[in-house]
Structure 1
């Protein structure tokens, strides 16, 4: 019988022993004591902020083609994705401003409702 026990300290040991992980050093201190992040970290944070809006904006027009019939007044999928992305980014920024942080479930719920409403508005049949 072979015992498969790791010999090195792993992250699991930290979790089991409740040892706090070391603090990350992603910020660059300045002479005034204010911390600024680098360009790569700022771009990473921005992309992670708008990633849910981008995913939803791309998936909604593709799913709309499956479930709704296309009418003459319906814009193409790129225009639908762009409008949904703008609406989604606005909702995420409002959630960030209102709650003071990103990742609240209420913000994601508002994102889904706002993008679904804008998608419905784009593909609804024209009423006379």
Structure 2
């Protein structure tokens, strides 16, 4: 495998985590209301945790692209956003 193909495969592997990292902070603002929380910090946390979920799914199942891994990615991202907003506290 050439370096270009490896980078293409790596990019395709982490793309769902990066897409969720961009989407979730804005979805959190839409659902939980506007706030003065830094969006870039939320994106960074989502990106790191999303890649960790995808790597865990690859390790657990032996292949990437399993639907269970993507479900876990969505659940972890939503739980992270809920936790970073501290939505369990009353306003």
Superposed pair shares fold, TM > 0.5: yes
Aligned counterparts of 1:53 and 1:67: Cα–Cα separation in 2: 20
Distance 1:41 1:61, change over 3 A: same
Where is the helix percentage greater, Structure 1 or Structure 2? 2
Q: How many residues align?
A: 90
Distance 1:95 1:55, change over 3 A: same
Please show how residues 23-102 of structure 1 align to structure 2 within 5 Å. 37-71=1-35, 75-102=37-64
CA RMSD of aligned residues (A): 1.7
Q: Which runs of 5+ in 2 are unaligned?
A: none
Distance 1:125 1:106, change over 3 A: closer
Where is the strand percentage greater, Structure 1 or Structure 2? 1
TM-score with structure 2 setting the length: 0.89
Task: Say if 2:78 is the partner of 1:116.
Answer: yes
Match of 1:102, SS state, is coil
Q: Which residue of 2 is the match for residue 15 of structure 1?
A: none
| Larger of the two Rg values belongs to structure | 1
- After the TM superposition, list the runs of 4 or more consecutive aligned residues in structure 1 that deviate by more than 3 angstroms: none
Higher relative contact order (CA 8 A, sep 6+): 2
Aligned counterparts of 2:87 and 2:71: Cα–Cα separation in 1: 26
Aligned counterparts of 1:84 and 1:108: Cα–Cα separation in 2: 14
**8 Å Cα contact 2:25-2:42 kept in structure 1:** yes
TM-score with structure 1 setting the length: 0.65
